[in-house]
């Protein structure tokens, strides 16, 4: 007998998933055991890109998640509500769940996985991060014997597309965003993408898997790309970097003296999203356009990078369907004990360090009066707070003002910001238009 799916939503991802399951020739034979039993839609009148019997479509989504016949609920409606409530209701009724919903999982993962564990059902989310790129199951299963040190990703295609075009065309953020919206690469309301919120959802999920604990989304530091200017992209290029929006989850480095080391036993994580100068030789530097990539570093694997399409109907349907297949295989096997490689058994929250404790290199651009001794004054302020400079360049002017760019060695962010606060008070300093972290 077939395993019955109740699919919530027939938008881009839902349609792609139905198409993939219906067109099963040449794919895994278990797909033939999947029955598309119910599909919940907002309106029955719309013309659809898939052929489904009328009896399968319904506008009553609640009836799907409570239907005793349904084995697996596939939530692909997106957004917070009613997605969260429907997932919880499905779990309450003993359904396994497949979801592509990073926003719900990053905010309500605790509630959802606690309910799922209690009900003895699985919640699968391969499509929630990286679209078609398999990264959730690799972290949960294939890489789970490693001690993970860092997960660093380009996990938002829209911002990577915008930054790539700014880099190759020398265009401004506003111009590329407007064009990306016209071409359909960016949403009419681009906030979630360009302000880094979508990437923050995704890195909180990856961090939870990599570091075996729950993550509070509000602890994830988040900066978007609106302030990245073509001037900075050009300077970064001259200095040997490209600017990427990185989502990073990492075991924090110990701060340099004179600050006391963070207790290794508490070993807090740094989980953050921000535009970053990436050395051109780094594997993430060459990920361009709408593509996503996730670099996982650990012991003993060292480095492994996942690369591919981070969105789109076909790629996301591939991820959703692989979760469905996992569940079909599990339902068809006879064991009564949950598979620990498919559940989320995290009990505790990870300790996330505040951004001031981050130890990183910085890039900063200053506009100053063109007078003797200005670079010396900057150097004195930096020295006072233990900030060591890797390079200082003064190549241009903006009107009457000299433009000075510095790249630091590793420094505690809190110390660097104190130095900047003092530099801002210098009479010769007009402004600090850019401040970016360097990988």
Q: Which stretch binds ligand HSE (CB under 6 A): 88-96, 140-148, 154-162, 249-257?
A: 154-162
Our CB check for ligand HSE shows the closer of 115 and 203 to be 203
Does residue 438 contact residue 246 with C-beta atoms inside 8 Å? no
Where does this chain touch ligand HSE (CB under 6 A) — which range of 109-117, 153-161, 245-253, 405-413? 153-161
Least distance to ligand HSE, CB of residue 153, Å: 11
The CB density around residue 3, as the number of other CB atoms within 10 Å, is 21
* Shortest distance (Å) from residue 296 CB to ligand HSE: 19
Kindly state whether residue 156 participates in binding ligand HSE, applying the rule CB under 6 A: yes
What tokens does 261 get?
A: 């080391």
Judged by CB under 6 A, which of 193, 219, 357, 415 binds ligand HSE?
193
Q: What is the largest CA-CA distance in the chain?
A: 83
Indicate whether 317 belongs to the interface with ligand HSE (CB under 6 A).
Answer: no
**Residue 268 or 308 having the CB closest to ligand HSE:** 308
Q: Which two tokens stand for residue 430?
A: 């007009």
Distance of CA 21 to the CA centre of its chain: 27
Single residue of 98, 311, 420, 438 touching ligand HSE by CB under 6 A: 311
Backbone angles phi, psi at 295, to 5 degrees: -100, 125
Q: Does 219 bind ligand HSE (CB under 6 A)?
A: no
DSSP assigned state of 128: G
**Residue 384 annotated among the catalytic residues of the structure:** no
Say which of 102, 140, 202, 250 is annotated catalytic: 202
Count of residues engaged in binding ligand HSE, rule: CB under 6 A? 7
In the three-class reduction of DSSP (H, G, I as helix; E, B as strand; rest coil), residue 97 is classed as strand
Residue 319's SS3 state is helix
C-alpha to C-alpha distance for 253 and 32, rounded to whole angstroms: 49
In the complex, least distance from residue 289 CB atom to ligand HSE, rounded to whole angstroms: 11
Which DSSP state fits 138?
I
Q: Is 157 in the site for ligand HSE (CB under 6 A)?
A: yes
The length of the chain is: 439
Residue 244, strand partner residues: 276
Asked if 158 is part of the footprint of ligand HSE (rule: CB under 6 A), the reply reads yes
Query: What is the smallest separation between the CB atom of 193 and ligand HSE, expressed in angstroms?
Result: 5
Helix (H, G, I), strand (E, B) or coil at 275: strand
Q: Which residues are catalytic?
A: 202
Instruction: Please report, as ranges, the residues that interact with ligand HSE according to CB under 6 A.
Output: 156-158, 193, 198, 310-311
């Amino acid at each position: 007998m077939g395993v019955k799916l109740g699919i919530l939503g027939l938008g881009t991802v839902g349609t792609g998933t139905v198409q993939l399951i219906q067109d099963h020739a040449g794919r895994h034979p278990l797909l033939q055991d999947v029955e598309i039993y119910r599909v919940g839609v907002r309106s029955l009148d719309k013309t659809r890109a898939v052929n489904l019997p009328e009896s399968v479509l319904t506008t009553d989504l609640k009836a799907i998640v409570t239907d005793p016949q349904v084995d697996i609920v596939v939530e692909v409606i997106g957004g917070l509500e009613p997605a969260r409530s429907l997932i919880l209701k499905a779990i309450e009724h003993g359904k396994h769940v497949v979801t592509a919903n990073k926003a719900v999982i990053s905010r309500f993962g605790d509630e959802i996985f606690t309910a799922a564990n209690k009900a003895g059902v699985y919640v699968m989310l391969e499509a929630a991060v990286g679209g078609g790129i398999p990264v959730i199951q690799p972290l949960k299963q294939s890489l789970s014997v490693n001690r993970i040190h860092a997960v660093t990703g380009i996990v938002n295609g829209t911002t990577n597309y915008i930054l790539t075009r700014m880099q190759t065309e020398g265009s401004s953020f506003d111009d590329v965003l407007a064009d990306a919206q016209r071409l359909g690469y960016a949403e009419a309301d681009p906030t979630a993408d360009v302000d880094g919120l979508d990437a923050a959802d995704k890195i909180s999920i990856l961090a939870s898997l990599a570091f075996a604990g729950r993550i509070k989304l509000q602890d994830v530091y988040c900066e978007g790309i609106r302030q990245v200017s073509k001037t900075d992209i050009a300077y970064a290029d001259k200095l040997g970097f490209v600017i990427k929006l990185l989502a990073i989850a990492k075991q924090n480095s110990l701060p340099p003296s004179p600050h006391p080391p963070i207790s290794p036993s508490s070993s807090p994580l740094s989980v953050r999203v921000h535009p970053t100068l990436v050395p051109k030789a780094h594997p993430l530097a060459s990920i361009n356009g709408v593509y996503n990539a996730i670099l996982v570093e650990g012991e003993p694997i060292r480095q492994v990078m996942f690369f591919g399409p981070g969105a789109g109907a076909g790629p996301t349907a591939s991820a959703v369907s692989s979760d469905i297949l996992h569940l079909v295989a599990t339902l068809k096997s006879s064991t009564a004990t949950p598979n620990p490689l498919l559940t989320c058994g995290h009990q505790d929250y990870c300790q996330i360090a505040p951004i001031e404790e981050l130890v990183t290199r910085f890039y900063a651009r200053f506009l100053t009066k063109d007078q003797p001794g200005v670079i010396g004054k900057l150097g004195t302020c930096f020295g006072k707070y233990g900030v060591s400079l890797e390079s200082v360049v003064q190549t241009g002017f903006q009107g009457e003002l000299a433009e000075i760019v510095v790249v630091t060695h590793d420094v505690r962010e809190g110390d660097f910001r104190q130095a900047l606060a003092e530099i801002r008070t210098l009479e010769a300093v007009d402004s600090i238009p850019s401040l970016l972290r360097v990988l």
